[in-house]
Chain A
Amino acid sequence: MKPVIVDARRLLCPMPVIRVQNRVKELPPGTRVEAICTDPGALNDIPAWCRINGHKLIETRTEDNEYIIVVEVGEDS
Chain B
Amino acid sequence: MTRQRKAVALISGGLDSLLAAKVIQQQGIHVEGINFFTGFCVEGHTHAIRQKDRARPKRNNALWVAEQLGIKLHIIDIVEEYKDIVFNPKHGYGANLNPCLDCKIFMVKKAQEWMAENDFDFIITGEVVGQRPMSQRKDTMPVVARDSGAADRLVRPLSGQNLPATLPEREGWISRDRLYGFNGRSRKPQMALAEEFGLKDYAQPAGGCCFLTDAQYSVKLADLWRARGEKQYEMDDIMLLKVGRHLRPRPHFKVIISREEGEGNFLQGYRKQFVSLLTTSHAGPLALLDGAVNDDDIALAARLVARYSQGKQEDLVELTVTGLDGRQQQLSVKPLGADEIPQEWYI
- Contact check, A13 vs B58: say whether CB atoms are below 8 A apart: yes
- Contact check, A13 vs B67: say whether CB atoms are below 8 A apart: no
- Contact check, A48 vs B58: say whether CB atoms are below 8 A apart: no
Give the residues from 37 to 59 in chain A that come closer than 8 angstroms, CB to CB, to chain B: 39-41, 43-45, 48-49, 51-54
In the assembled complex, A60 has its CB within 8 A of some CB on chain B: no
Question: Given the complex, which residues of B lie within 8 Å of A48, measured CB to CB?
Answer: 59-60, 63-64, 67
Best-buried of A13, A49, A51, A54 by chain B (most CB within 10 Å): A13
Question: Given the complex, which residues of B lie within 8 Å of A40, measured CB to CB?
Answer: 48, 54, 58
- Contact check, A17 vs B54: say whether CB atoms are below 8 A apart: no
Question: How many chain-B residues does the 8 Å CB contact rule pick out?
Answer: 28
In the assembled complex, B44 has its CB within 8 A of some CB on chain A: yes
In the assembled complex, A4 has its CB within 8 A of some CB on chain B: no
What secondary structure prevails in chain B residues at the interface with A? mixed
- Contact check, A52 vs B75: say whether CB atoms are below 8 A apart: no
In the assembled complex, A18 has its CB within 8 A of some CB on chain B: yes
Closest-CB distance, B55 to chain A (whole angstroms): 11
- Contact check, A49 vs B73: say whether CB atoms are below 8 A apart: yes
Which B residues have a C-beta under 8 Å from some C-beta of A? 35, 37, 41, 43-45, 47-49, 54, 57-60, 62-64, 66-67, 71-77, 239, 269
| A-B contact sample (20 more), CB < 8 A, given A13-B44, A14-B44, A18-B37 | A10-B269, A12-B44, A12-B45, A12-B48, A13-B48, A13-B60, A14-B60, A17-B60, A18-B77, A21-B74, A22-B77, A39-B48, A41-B60, A44-B57, A45-B58, A45-B60, A48-B59, A48-B63, A52-B71, A54-B72
Provide 22 A-B residue pairs closer than 8 Å at the C-beta atoms, listed in order of the A residue. Answer: A13-B60, A14-B60, A14-B62, A14-B75, A15-B37, A17-B75, A18-B37, A18-B77, A40-B58, A44-B57, A45-B63, A48-B60, A48-B64, A49-B63, A49-B73, A49-B75, A51-B67, A52-B66, A52-B67, A52-B71, A52-B73, A53-B72
